[in-house]
């Protein structure tokens, strides 16, 4: 059962999790970024049950992450093409890969993200586009956006670590 709390549904993180938070969805998107487009390709790569794969692909299509396009008439066969919305999710996959390599590979990385031109491994970080400085827990706070409800504004003011009025100073 998905959470229905207004503060969760109003939160962009909550809405993102609603769209892609189920782990099969993230792995399907990972494979799509690596070139998979067809049901059989996803199935073979992931070893996922066909009924689960069908549901996840349908959800990702309904959510606007894929466009389903027929590539064969008889029998009808479809491919799943990434949308711009899905391509905008790529940095999330990159962040997960970097975090996994840093914290979950005691014997060393088995996959690296590299520059397409010269195969130089990337060292991914999330940066502010304005000044190109890394965004960290120490320098970031959450503030209400212009469309925040009263409930959301109240919730944000109650958060200690992410409230600019009471956030601890430090690095």
DSSP letter, residue 108:
-
pTM for the full predicted model:
0.83
CB 126 within 8 Å of CB 134: yes
Nearest to 19 by CA among 69, 85, 82, 84: 85
In the chain the first and final C-alpha atoms are separated, in Å, by: 38
Question: Going by CATH, does the domain composed of 6-88 fall within 1.10.10.10?
Answer: yes
Q: Please state the domain extents for the chain.
A: 6-88, 125-166
Over range 26-31, report the average pLDDT.
Answer: 96
Rounded Cα–Cα distance for residues 24 and 104 (Å):
19
pLDDT in tens, 113-126: 999 999 999 999 99
pLDDT tens profile 99-154: 999 999 989 899 999 999 999 999 999 999 999 999 988 888 888 889 988 888 88
What is the number of other CB atoms lying within 10 angstroms of the CB of residue 27? 16
Write the CA distances from 67 to 70, 75, 123, integer angstroms.
Answer: 10, 19, 31
- Would you place residue 50 in the very low, low, confident or very high pLDDT band (cuts 50, 70, 90)? very high
Tell me the two tokens of residue 70: 């027929």
pLDDT at 33 over 80: yes
């Amino acid at each position: 059962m998905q959470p229905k709390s207004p503060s969760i549904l109003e939160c962009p993180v909550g809405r993102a999790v609603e769209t892609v938070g189920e782990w099969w969805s993230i792995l399907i998107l990972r494979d799509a970024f690596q070139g998979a487009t067809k049901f059989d390709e996803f199935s073979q790569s992931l070893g996922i049950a066909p009924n689960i794969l069908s549901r996840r692909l349908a959800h990702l299509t309904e959510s606007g992450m894929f466009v389903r396009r027929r590539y064969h008439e008889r029998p009808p066969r479809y491919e799943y093409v990434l949308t711009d919305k899905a391509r905008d999710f790529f940095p999330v996959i990159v962040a997960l890969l970097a975090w996994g390599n840093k914290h979950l590979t005691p014997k060393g990385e088995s996959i690296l993200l590299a520059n397409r031109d010269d195969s130089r491994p990337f060292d991914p970080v999330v940066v502010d586009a304005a000044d190109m400085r890394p965004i960290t827990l120490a320098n970031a706070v959450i503030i209400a956006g212009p469309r925040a409800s009263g409930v959301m504004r109240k919730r944000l003011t109650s958060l200690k670590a992410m409230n600019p009025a009471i956030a601890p100073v430090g690095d």
